[in-house]
Each structure stands twice: as structure tokens, then as C-alpha cells.
């Protein structure tokens, strides 16, 4: 949780690049408009020491309210949204639609030769859907990266 002020994302990203940490995915959006608080969800990898260090480095940044390691806390929910454009005709087109139905993807745009599917789910599910679309005329993918939240009644402290 960070103050939604100019440059705060650059600070966080700069910390990762400057200290040689990896960012696998990153999502950011204001979550509390009145309090000017944004939530940044970062997927990173490293040994437990490295993760502890990343956490400590983030916590000491002036505009950072709090840092939670959802992986260590366990029991977190992760979701990703993907928009997937597929072109094709005939049987391939029908197959892509059937698979979309099986994955509970929604058609949010259609032409006579294309679909745009909207799919939400775990990263592995999105990955799988995309790989299935590959031979059916996959054109373009846009993914949000992971948004995550802990289960249960407790909220993250600001």
C-alpha cells in the first residue's frame, strides 16, 4: 500500500531494478480515492532472504504505508484478467468458441472473422487457454498481471 503521489511507482520499480530484483508481474491502481492510497501487487521471485530484503527495502521507502508478503502469509487468492484476440473461420472458429465456453471466457467483441475473449482466473488457467488458442488463430494477448488478496475477514493494514 502506497501513497498515490507522483513518482511512487517509479520509486518502487527503481528499487527493484537498482538492486537487481526481478519483477514477474506488476499491477497498480488507486484503491482508496479519499485517502490517496494505491495498491501495488508485485510478483517476484527469490530466496526467502532476498524476499525479506525486498520487503525491508520497500518498507523503508517514505511513501510506502505497508508491505505484505501474501505468499508467506499463505492462503491468498490470485487472479489475472486477459483479453485474447483470435481470428479464424469455419471449424477453427467454432472450436475457439467451444473452448472459450469451457474456460468461462466471455466474448466481448466479435466480427465475422475474429473474437476478443475476456478471461479471468489463475495465471495457469490463462496460460493454458492461450496455448489452446495458439493453433486456432491467436493474434494478440493483453494481460493485467496478478491482483491478489488474502482470504478471510482481515484486511491489509494501510
User: Is 157 within 8 Å of 67 (Cβ atoms)?
Assistant: no
Query: How many residues belong to the site for other proteins (CB under 8 A)?
Result: 19
Q: Between 8 and 126, whose beta carbon lies closer to other proteins?
A: 8
Nearest distance from C-beta of residue 27 to other proteins, angstroms: 21
Select from 4-12, 75-83, 106-114, 145-153 the region that touches other proteins (CB under 8 A). 4-12
- What minimum distance in Å lies between the beta carbon of 56 and other proteins? 4
Rounded Cα distance, 135 and 130, in Å = 10
Extract long-range pairs of 4-8: CB within 8 Å, 24+ residues apart: 4/30, 4/36, 4/37, 4/38, 5/36, 5/63, 8/38, 8/63
> Among residue numbers 14 through 53, which ones bind other proteins (CB under 8 A)?
14, 18, 49, 52-53
Q: Pick out residues in 58-117 that bind other proteins (CB under 8 A).
A: 59-65
Least distance to other proteins, CB of residue 92, Å: 47
Q: Which cell goes with 118?
A: 475476456
- Which residues in this chain contact other proteins in the complex, by CB under 8 A? 3, 6-7, 10-11, 14, 18, 49, 52-53, 56-57, 59-65
Amino acid at each position: 500500500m502506497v501513497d498515490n503521489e507522483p513518482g511512487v511507482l517509479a520509486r518502487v520499480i527503481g528499487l527493484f531494478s537498482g538492486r537487481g530484483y526481478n519483477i514477474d508481474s506488476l499491477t497498480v491502481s488507486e484503491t482508496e480515492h479519499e485517502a490517496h492510497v494505491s495498491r501495488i501487487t508485485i510478483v517476484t521471485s527469490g530466496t526467502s532472504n532476498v524476499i525479506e530484503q525486498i520487503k525491508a527495502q520497500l518498507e523503508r521507502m517514505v511513501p510506502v504505508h505497508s508491505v505484505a508478503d501474501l505468499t508467506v502469509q499463505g492462503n491468498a487468492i490470485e487472479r489475472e484478467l486477459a483479453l485474447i484476440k483470435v481470428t479464424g473461420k469455419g471449424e477453427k472458429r467454432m472450436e475457439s468458441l467451444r473452448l472459450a465456453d469451457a474456460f468461462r471466457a466471455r466474448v466481448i467483441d466479435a466480427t465475422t472473422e475474429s473474437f476478443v475473449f475476456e478471461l479471468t482466473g489463475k495465471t495457469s488457467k490463462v496460460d493454458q487457454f492461450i496455448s489452446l488458442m495458439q493453433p486456432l488463430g491467436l493474434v494478440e494477448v493483453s494481460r493485467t498481471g496478478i491482483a491478489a488478496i488474502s482470504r478471510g475477514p482481515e484486511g491489509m493494514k494501510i
